[in-house]
Amino acid sequence: MKVFLNIFYLFIFILIIIVTRIYLASYKSPSSSVHFISPAPYLEHFTFGYKDLIADLLWLRTIQDLDHCERPLSKDEVCSNSWVYNMVDKITDLSPHFRIIYATVPLLLSMTVGDSNGAILLLDKGLQYFPNDWPILYRGGYLYLFEEGNKVKAAEYFTRAQKNGAPDWLASYAARLYSESGRHEMAEQLIKDYEKSGLPEDLLERMKDHLKNANKLIKEQ
């Protein structure tokens, strides 16, 4: 039995060394793809109880090249299914509550790598484990507003963020986004909800002003 345990621990030690050499190896040129190897599809089933350790090793490798795109970016070509996304997706498979990834990487994926699809997938994955984490929700709203141009979805995220501890001004901003996108009924309902929750009166007035101005502009068109 003791011999078996020694062999098993030796195997684990060798496995960790192999993973470390692959994912922490230095590279000569960013154009060399040999060092940008995505994790094996079923890696989480072969960690032998060392999921968090391997997740940490993969994260240490990933942060060295968080802006890497294996394909040149252009107006007609995006970096979807990027190496960075595949790395962080596997890391969060191994360690689902790796919060720092959900809080920081989605925006980086969209803004520096050009992988907007991966950013949205990672954001949605994070909210499965941190549904009421307002910094994640707030950055998700930013992602939808400034990177995706989706005002309605951004307003939804900002509203959820404010209800979970974000600054109160986000409620006013969310109402403005709903109004500008033509969702006046949603904006009106949002104001009614906040009236019942005791939101400061000055913020409620600003929300109502945004709604009135948006209605006025539509009528003038």
What DSSP element (H or E) covers 180?
A: helix 169-180
Asked if pLDDT for residue 27 goes beyond 50, the answer is no
- The pLDDT score that the predictor gives to residue 32 is 46
- Measured between alpha carbons, how far is 13 from 204 in angstroms, rounded to an integer? 60
Closest CA to 151 of 167, 118, 173, 129: 173
Q: What is the mean pLDDT of residues 87-105?
A: 94
Are 183 and 152 in contact, with CB atoms under 8 Å apart? yes
For tokens 């890696």, name the residue: 43
DSSP for 144-164, please give it: IIIIS--HHHHHHHHHHHHHT
Domain boundary assignment for the chain: 47-131, 151-221
- Measured between alpha carbons, how far is 18 from 125 in angstroms, rounded to an integer? 29
Task: Count the helix, strand and coil residues of the chain and give each as a percent rounded to the nearest 5.
Answer: 70, 0, 30
Task: Summarize pLDDT for 57-80 with one digit per residue, the tens.
Answer: 899 989 888 888 776 555 556 678
- The pLDDT score that the predictor gives to residue 128 is 96
- The pLDDT score that the predictor gives to residue 26 is 44
Specify burial of residue 154 (Cβ count, 10 A radius: 0-12, 13-18, 19+): buried
Q: What is the mean pLDDT of residues 19-27?
A: 50
Q: What is the mean pLDDT of residues 168-189?
A: 80
- Measured between alpha carbons, how far is 74 from 56 in angstroms, rounded to an integer? 33
- The pLDDT score that the predictor gives to residue 103 is 92
Asked if pLDDT for residue 158 goes beyond 90, the answer is yes
- The pLDDT score that the predictor gives to residue 91 is 94
Three-state DSSP at 77 gives strand
